[in-house]
Amino acid sequence: MNKIKVSKTASASTSQTTERKEWPVVIYLWAFGLAILGYVIGRVGLAAFPHPYHWMSGLVGGLAGVPIGWVWYRWRGDVL
For residue 4, the model assigns a pLDDT of 74
Residue 72 confidence class, pLDDT cut points 50, 70, 90: very high
Sequence-distant (6+) residues with CB within 8 A of 55 are: 39, 42
Q: Under the phi-then-psi rule, with left for phi > 0, alpha for psi from -120 to 50, and beta for the rest, what region is 48?
A: alpha
Model confidence at 57, pLDDT cuts 50, 70, 90, reads very high
Nearest by Cα to 52 from 63, 60, 64? 60
- pTM value? 0.70
Q: Which of 16-20, 41-45, 54-58, 62-66 is predicted with the least confidence, judged by mean pLDDT?
A: 16-20
Return the beta strands (E) in 4-79 as ranges.
none
Q: Quick one: pLDDT band at residue 14, thresholds 50, 70, 90? A: low
The full set of domain ranges for the chain reads 25-76
